[in-house]
Homo-oligomer: A and B are copies of this chain.
């Protein structure tokens, strides 16, 4: 890891009541199931969902350069919930008045410094449906680079420390497996599943 002066360290973990929490909350859902029986379910939810009705957008990105292999940029950042560095595609919450596509362009610029072109936006997906109501959309984006382009500056918010790594698409799956072996590092499930799907399509003998 580069570009930081010390390892982050957790100093305290305490229970948080739903009233105190600013970003997320804990809810008890009471419902009547398919056979008419009353049941309960515990769930976490984000408090920040805006008019798009979707919490977040992730940017599956392809960097095209005249003399380098087609690549994708992943970001590595310290994530307190896991006390680990995560490897993810750039992503962010959709602001109250934004569309997913607008958020994709804005967040991609902030985290990577690059202007991108949105090729497609997926339907909403359930981030972790047994645990939370959180949902997200996957925007596939493309960045066209010229021969002499230098890596642009990020526009990070205060407190964001995000390292950018460019990985050739042909190496993505193997690189994620390698990152997973490093201490205090974990790959985000969505990125890992996309890479595993690519790897499966290229190596399976079923089709």
Contacts and interface: CB of A to CB of B under 8 A. Distances in A.
A199 B193 CA distance: 12
A79 B131 CA distance: 9
A147 B203 CA distance: 26
Interface string A5-30: 11111111111111111111111111
Interface of A: 4-39, 41-46, 56, 60, 62, 64, 70, 78-82, 84, 86, 88, 91, 122-136, 138, 140, 159, 161, 169-170, 177, 180-181, 186-202, 204, 206-207
A160 to B, nearest CB: 10
Contacts of A5: 34-36
Contacts of A8: 31-34
A32 B9 contact: yes
14 contacts: A5-B34, A7-B34, A8-B31, A11-B31, A13-B29, A14-B27, A16-B18, A18-B26, A46-B131, A81-B129, A81-B130, A123-B186, A131-B134, A138-B193
Contact of A207 (B19, B42, B169, B206): B169
A131 to B, nearest CB: 6
Residue with the highest number of chain B CB atoms closer than 10 Å, among A14, A29, A37, A202: A29
A183 to B, nearest CB: 12
A201 B62 CA distance: 13
A84 B124 CA distance: 12
Contacts of A186: 123-126, 129, 135
Contact of A15 (B27, B191, B193): B27
A128 to B, nearest CB: 5
A122 B45 CA distance: 27
A159 B39 contact: yes
A187 B123 contact: yes
B10 A81 contact: no
Given A10-B29, A44-B44, A190 B187 contact: no
